[in-house]
């Protein structure tokens, strides 16, 4: 079955064609580890995880990379301003040294990995750290210098976008002609040839520590400093996946600057495309505004857990919205998702083992996930299956566990229980009577009658769970 994905580069849904049959290489822009990731950041990795799981469901071998930025990332896409990692050192009263920067980066990298595990995200094959790939950064910049694409100013080395005629092609933006575009915000260095030009190497500035001035960074042919944020991703992705590789992902906020800069410098250096497909997830908003640390309107997984919302409930909520659609976070919505997840787990835990995957449902599920990750439709299909009286409980369990290879809700880990014959405690007598009538209809294979009785029970706020030893009634 063909896999269709939306390619930001062409602005079209395309049939995926791997560079190597049966293998897919994916690079995901990782976090800058100066603080805890918020749940808006984490959407990108739930998306990346479902993408990986979809390919694995299609029997692909996946080589997945999530980079870790632990040096050289300023507080925005700008080439000037306060560096995030330096900001973390100051905030935590740590010395302004490379060793301390590595230490604080490790602290928040470890916290990030724990977040991934809590969300039941499969860990990638590689977590390259920017501080480990300085040599590769320098070699890439040397290649750009050799090809005539960079120039040096007093504060660093810059990529000359004027020499790259296709600059801004990602997302169909005409960044060359539009002088009022998003890049205007990074025009802080008036010595640059063009306001779109960006730093590939930033020279270190002295930091005052008490009565002393400290200069931290790495030695390079252009002076002591740090790699630019954009050059780090180009170097790390090429180092592990080669160039070109199959798929590059990230949030939609990376399209206009970061990813266009990656494309420009990688193609200028090596004369070939960086990635064949570019995929981007939309924002999570809160009170209709983008969730961001800079805006102070963000939540972490720890915050959710204080409100008794599990990370898997958050994952389930994300799966009910398409990755390219903006979703607005509300406590009510996520609490509703948690109730739905609890109900799903309780139902499936009561189904017996020994069933087989229902081929008709599998084909539909497969078609949904292969159509640009239409996970919301796949989730809806799970509930359709649960309500299908023509499918045995054992087959329902087998099929849902098969689907969970992509959904990643860790359903199989829920303790398996045999549901008892209906306990009428706290269940209205009329509901019990309807359930018993349905059971009689099932035994005589009056399926239409059984379906009608189930619908009647559900409309009254209850559900019937079928088990080997009888049925149980639960509140919806």
Enumerate the domain spans of the chain: 4-285, 307-413, 429-475
- Confidence at residue 436, expressed as pLDDT on a 0 to 100 scale: 80
- Confidence at residue 475, expressed as pLDDT on a 0 to 100 scale: 72
**Which of 231, 261, 64, 215 is CA-nearest to residue 133?**
231
Supply φ then ψ for residue 432, to 5 degrees. -65, -40
Determine which of 66-80, 215-229, 322-336 has the lowest per-residue pLDDT on average.
66-80
What average pLDDT does this structure show over 394-421? Answer: 85
- Cβ atoms within 10 Å of 177's Cβ, excluding its own: 8
187 pLDDT band, cuts 50/70/90, is very low
Q: Which residues contact 218 (CB under 8 A, 6 or more apart)?
A: 98, 134, 224, 225, 226
Q: Taking the alpha carbons of 8, 11, 15, 18 in that order, is the dihedral positive or negative?
A: negative
Q: Pick the residue with more confidence: 436 or 150?
A: 150
Q: Pick the residue with more confidence: 239 or 420?
A: 239
What average pLDDT does this structure show over 163-173? Answer: 86
The Cβ-side half-sphere exposure at 233, using a 13 Å CA radius, reads: 27
| Spatial distance between the Cα atoms of 420 and 428, rounded to a whole number of angstroms | 17
| Spatial distance between the Cα atoms of 304 and 321, rounded to a whole number of angstroms | 19
296 pLDDT band, cuts 50/70/90, is low
CATH of 4-285, one of 1.10.1370.30, 3.40.50.620, 3.30.1300.30, 3.40.50.2300: 3.40.50.620
Query: Would the pLDDT of 317 be above 70?
Result: yes
Determine which of 34-38, 52-56, 109-113, 424-428 has the lowest per-residue pLDDT on average.
424-428
174 pLDDT band, cuts 50/70/90, is very low
Q: Return mean pLDDT, the chain.
A: 88
| Spatial distance between the Cα atoms of 138 and 236, rounded to a whole number of angstroms | 12
For the chain, how far is it from start to end, CA to CA, in angstroms? 36
- Confidence at residue 241, expressed as pLDDT on a 0 to 100 scale: 98
Q: Pick the residue with more confidence: 8 or 343?
A: 8
- Confidence at residue 173, expressed as pLDDT on a 0 to 100 scale: 52
| Spatial distance between the Cα atoms of 313 and 469, rounded to a whole number of angstroms | 30
- Cβ atoms within 10 Å of 293's Cβ, excluding its own: 16
CATH number for the domain formed by residue range(s) 307-413: 1.20.120.1910
- Confidence at residue 270, expressed as pLDDT on a 0 to 100 scale: 97
**Residue 223 falls in which region: left (phi positive, over 0), alpha (psi -120 to 50) or beta:** left
What percentage of the chain carries pLDDT values higher than 90?
A: 63
Per the DSSP assignment, residues forming a β-bridge with 226 are 202
What average pLDDT does this structure show over 405-425? Answer: 72
Distance of CA 218 to the CA centre of its chain: 32
| Spatial distance between the Cα atoms of 370 and 363, rounded to a whole number of angstroms | 11
- Kindly provide the b/e burial profile for residues 231-252, where b requires at least 16 CB atoms within 10 angstroms of the residue's own CB: bbbbbbbbbbbebbbbbbbbbb
Q: Which two tokens stand for residue 12?
A: 């079209």
Per the DSSP assignment, residues forming a β-bridge with 251 are 281
What average pLDDT does this structure show over 306-318? Answer: 92
Query: Would the pLDDT of 181 be above 60?
Result: no
| Spatial distance between the Cα atoms of 465 and 421, rounded to a whole number of angstroms | 10
Query: Would the pLDDT of 299 be above 90?
Result: no
Distance of CA 270 to the CA centre of its chain: 29
- Cβ atoms within 10 Å of 300's Cβ, excluding its own: 17
Q: Taking the alpha carbons of 310, 313, 319, 321 in that order, is the dihedral positive or negative?
A: negative
What average pLDDT does this structure show over 176-182? Answer: 43
| Strand ordering across the sheet containing 284-286 | 289-290, 284-286, 327-329
Provide the whole-model pTM: 0.84
Query: Would the pLDDT of 129 be above 60?
Result: yes
- Confidence at residue 185, expressed as pLDDT on a 0 to 100 scale: 44
Determine which of 118-127, 173-182, 192-201, 367-376 has the lowest per-residue pLDDT on average.
173-182
| Spatial distance between the Cα atoms of 424 and 257, rounded to a whole number of angstroms | 62
What average pLDDT does this structure show over 204-214? Answer: 66
What average pLDDT does this structure show over 60-85? Answer: 81
Distance of CA 402 to the CA centre of its chain: 22
Determine which of 95-99, 124-128, 132-136, 256-260 has the lowest per-residue pLDDT on average.
95-99
**Which of 468, 415, 412, 458 is CA-nearest to residue 435?**
458
Q: Pick the residue with more confidence: 423 or 476?
A: 476
Determine which of 174-183, 193-202, 274-283 has the lowest per-residue pLDDT on average.
174-183
Distances (CA, A) of 57 to 133, 245, 392, 396: 33, 20, 24, 18
- Confidence at residue 420, expressed as pLDDT on a 0 to 100 scale: 47
Distance of CA 205 to the CA centre of its chain: 34
- Confidence at residue 323, expressed as pLDDT on a 0 to 100 scale: 97
Report which listed range, 133-137, 301-305, 416-420, is most confident. Answer: 133-137
Supply φ then ψ for residue 338, to 5 degrees. -65, -40
Strand residues in 263-404 grouped as ranges (E): 275-281, 284-286, 289-290, 327-329
Peptide bond into 8 cis (omega under 30): no
Query: Would the pLDDT of 437 be above 70?
Result: yes
């Amino acid at each position: 079955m063909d896999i269709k994905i939306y390619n930001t580069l062409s602005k079209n849904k395309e049939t995926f064609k791997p560079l190597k049959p049966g293998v897919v290489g994916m690079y995901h822009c990782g976090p800058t580890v100066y603080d805890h990731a918020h749940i808006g950041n984490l959407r990108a990795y739930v998306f990346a995880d479902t993408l990986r799981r979809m390919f694995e469901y299609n029997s692909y071998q996946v080589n997945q990379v999530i980079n870790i930025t632990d040096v050289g990332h300023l507080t925005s896409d700008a080439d000037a301003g306060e560096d995030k990692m330096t900001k973390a050192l100051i905030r935590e009263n740590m010395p302004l040294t490379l060793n301390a920067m590595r230490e604080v980066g490790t602290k928040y990298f470890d916290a990030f990995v724990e977040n991934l595990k809590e969300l039941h995200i499969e860990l990638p094959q590689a977590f390259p750290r920017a501080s480990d790939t300085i040599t590769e950064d320098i070699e890439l910049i040397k290649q750009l210098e050799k090809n005539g694409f960079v120039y040096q100013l007093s504060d660093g080395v810059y990529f000359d976008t004027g020499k790259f005629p296709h600059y801004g092609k990602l997302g169909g933006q005409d960044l060359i002609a539009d002088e009022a575009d998003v890049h205007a915000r990074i025009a802080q260095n008036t010595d640059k040839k063009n306001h779109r030009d960006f730093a590939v190497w930033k020279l270190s500035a002295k930091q005052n520590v008490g009565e002393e001035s400290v200069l931290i960074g790495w030695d390079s042919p252009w002076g002591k400093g740090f790699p630019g944020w954009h050059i780090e991703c180009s170097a790390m992705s090429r180092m592990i996946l080669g160039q070109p590789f199959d798929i590059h992902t990230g949030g939609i906020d990376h399209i206009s600057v970061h990813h266009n800069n990656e494309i420009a410098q990688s193609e200028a250096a090596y004369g070939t495309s960086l990635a064949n497909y570019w995929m981007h997830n939309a924002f999570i908003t809160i009170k209709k505004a983008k969730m961001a640390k800079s805006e102070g309107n963000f939540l972490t997984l720890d915050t959710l857990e204080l409100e008794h919302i599990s990370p898997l409930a958050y994952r389930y909520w994300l799966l009910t919205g398409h990755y390219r659609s903006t979703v607005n976070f509300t406590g009510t919505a996520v609490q509703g998702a948690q109730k739905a997840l609890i109900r799903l787990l309780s139902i499936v835990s009561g189904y017996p083992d020994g069933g087989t995957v229902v081929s008709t449902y599998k084909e539909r599920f497969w078609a949904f996930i292969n159509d640009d990750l239409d996970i919301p439709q796949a989730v809806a299909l799970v509930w359709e299956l649960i309500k299908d009286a023509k499918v045995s409980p054992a087959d329902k369990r087998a099929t849902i566990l098969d689907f969970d290879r992509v959904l990643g809700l860790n359903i199989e880990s829920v303790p398996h229980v045999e549901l008892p014959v209906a306990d009428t405690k706290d269940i209205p007598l009329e509901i019990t009577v309807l359930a018993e009538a349905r059971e009689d209809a099932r035994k005589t294979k009056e399926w239409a009658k059984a379906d009608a009785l189930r619908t009647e029970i559900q409309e009254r706020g209850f559900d019937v769970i079928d088990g080997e030893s009888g049925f149980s009634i639960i509140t919806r």
